[in-house]
Amino acid sequence: MDKHSSWIAMAALLLSLAPTALAQAPNLRPGGWEQTLTISAGGGAQRVTKLKSCITKEDLASMRTFEKDENCKNQYTTRSAARIAGSQVCVHGGQQRKGEFDIQFQSPESYLMTAGSRVVGEPASEMRMEMKARWASPNCTGYDD
């Protein structure tokens, strides 16, 4: 798997978190959100990507905000309105990755997501990811959903 594919796999790890069955949904504002995703791989190579997304009231109510990846199994250590944390095992392209994740809902207008991932077997590789998200708009015009 090349470095670009590894970054995509790491982003898939991030986006596959499916915080279902929460006692209470995170207190986030619906609308347009802007995220800064920083991925560090191996020997210090770093990639920063700016993303835009739409989070609707319906997403928050049903917790569809984070898409589920059928190739991943999550084990949660914390699931609350303030934080979601746990570990994950994913298989993409025949390659198994193990990782951990932590999403902290800091306010109705911001959250911080961190994750780490490592390939099981050869070739060994590790990645760290951080996503800082901030609410940007009351509507989703111009934001992907």
The verdict on residue 142 lying in a domain is no
The verdict on residue 77 lying in a domain is yes
The verdict on residue 10 lying in a domain is yes
Q: What is the pTM of this model?
A: 0.77
- The boundaries of the domain holding residue 79 are 3-19+30-137
Judged on CB neighbours under 10 Å (0-12, 13-18, 19+), 44 is exposed
The verdict on residue 116 lying in a domain is yes
Q: What is the pLDDT of residues 78-118, one digit of tens each?
A: 888 888 899 989 888 888 889 999 999 999 999 999 999 88
**How much is the pLDDT for 45?**
77
- pLDDT of 137 above 50: yes
The verdict on residue 144 lying in a domain is no
The verdict on residue 133 lying in a domain is yes
When pLDDT is averaged across residues 46-59 and rounded to a whole number, the result is: 88
Cis ω on the peptide bond leading into residue 108 (within 30° of 0)? Answer: no
Q: Residue 144's closest CA among 59, 51, 67, 66?
A: 51
Residues 6+ apart with CB under 8 A from 129: 10, 11, 13, 14, 37, 38, 39, 40, 113, 114, 115, 116, 117
> Predicted confidence band at 124 (pLDDT cuts at 50, 70, 90)?
confident
Q: Residue 30's closest CA among 58, 50, 52, 51?
A: 58
Place of tokens 């303030």: 82
Percent residues over pLDDT 90 in the chain: 34
- SS3 for 103? strand
The verdict on residue 49 lying in a domain is yes
The verdict on residue 60 lying in a domain is yes
Rounded to the nearest angstrom, the gap between the alpha carbon of residue 143 and the centroid of all alpha carbons in its chain is 17
Contact 129, 116 (CB under 8 A): yes
**How much is the pLDDT for 4?**
44
Report the domain count for the chain: 1
